[in-house]
A = this chain, B = another copy of it.
Amino acid sequence: MKINIKPAEGKLGILIPGLGAVATTLIAGVEAVKKGISQPIGSLTQMGSIRLGKRTEARHPKIKDFVPLANLNDIVFGGWDVYEDNVYQAAVNAKVLERDLLDSVREGLESIKPMKAAFDKNYAKNLDGTYIKTGTRHELAQQVMEDIKNFQKDNGLDRVVLVWCGSTEVYFEGSEIHETLAAFEQALLDDDKRIAPSMIYAYAALKLGVPFANGAPNLTVDIPAMIELAKLTKTPIAGKDFKTGQTLMKTVLAPGLAARSLGVHGWFSTNILGNRDGLVLDDPDNFKTKEVSKLGVLEDILRPEDNPELYGEIFHKIRINYYPPHGDNKESWDNIDIFGWLGYKMQIKINFLCRDSILAAPIALDLALFCDMAKRANMSGIQEWLSFYLKSPQTAPGLHAENDIFKQLIKLENTLRYLMGEDLITHLGLDYYDDMFAGQ
* Stretch in A11-19, A75-83, A195-203, A341-349 touching the partner: A341-349
A89 part of interface (Cβ distance < 8 Å): no
A121 part of interface (Cβ distance < 8 Å): no
A138 part of interface (Cβ distance < 8 Å): no
A66 part of interface (Cβ distance < 8 Å): no
A172 part of interface (Cβ distance < 8 Å): no
Q: How far is the CA of A252 from the CA of B250 in the complex (A)?
A: 11
Interface string of A396-426 (1 = CB under 8 A from B): 1011101001110111001100100000111
A307 / chain B contacts, CB cutoff of 8 Å? 47, 49
| Closest residue of B by beta carbon distance from A404 | B406
Is there contact, CB below 8 Å, between B398 and A41? Answer: no
* Stretch in A110-118, A146-154, A374-382 touching the partner: A374-382
A222 / chain B contacts, CB cutoff of 8 Å? none
| Closest residue of B by beta carbon distance from A374 | B436
Shortest distance between the CB of A211 and any CB in chain B (Å): 14
With contact pairs A3-B440, A340-B42, A342-B38 given, residues A428 and B415 touching in the complex (Cβ less than 8 Å): yes
A260 / chain B contacts, CB cutoff of 8 Å? 42, 44, 248, 359
Q: How far is the CA of A137 from the CA of B384 in the complex (A)?
A: 60
Is there contact, CB below 8 Å, between B270 and A40? Answer: no
With contact pairs A321-B270, A326-B337 given, residues A418 and B428 touching in the complex (Cβ less than 8 Å): yes
| Closest residue of B by beta carbon distance from A257 | B252
Number of residues of chain A lying within 8 A (CB) of chain B? 117
A239 part of interface (Cβ distance < 8 Å): no
A398 / chain B contacts, CB cutoff of 8 Å? 56
In chain A, positions 352-408 with a C-beta closer than 8 Å to chain B are 352-355, 358-359, 361-362, 377-382, 384-385, 388, 395-396, 398-400, 402, 405-407
| Closest residue of B by beta carbon distance from A331 | B335
A166 part of interface (Cβ distance < 8 Å): no
Q: How far is the CA of A261 from the CA of B418 in the complex (A)?
A: 22
A135 part of interface (Cβ distance < 8 Å): no
Is there contact, CB below 8 Å, between B437 and A256? Answer: no
Is there contact, CB below 8 Å, between A406 and B255? Answer: yes
A8 part of interface (Cβ distance < 8 Å): no
| Closest residue of B by beta carbon distance from A357 | B341
* Stretch in A173-181, A186-194, A285-293, A309-317 touching the partner: A309-317
Q: Pick from A265, A340, A345, A398 the residue with the most CB of B within 10 Å.
A: A340
A263 part of interface (Cβ distance < 8 Å): yes
A101 part of interface (Cβ distance < 8 Å): yes
Q: How far is the CA of A355 from the CA of B317 in the complex (A)?
A: 21
Q: How far is the CA of A25 from the CA of B266 in the complex (A)?
A: 25
Option from B41, B303, B406 in Cβ contact (under 8 Å) with A339: B41
A36 part of interface (Cβ distance < 8 Å): no
Is there contact, CB below 8 Å, between B343 and A378? Answer: no
In chain A, positions 259-277 with a C-beta closer than 8 Å to chain B are 259-263, 265-266, 268, 270, 272
17 further A-B pairs in the complex, CB-CB below 8 A; given A265-B325, A340-B359, A424-B428? A29-B342, A41-B342, A49-B307, A55-B399, A56-B399, A60-B303, A253-B256, A255-B406, A333-B333, A346-B353, A346-B355, A350-B350, A378-B437, A385-B429, A399-B432, A402-B427, A410-B427
- A-B residue pairs, 8 tightest by C-beta: A252-B256, A266-B325, A406-B406, A38-B342, A42-B340, A47-B261, A347-B353, A349-B351
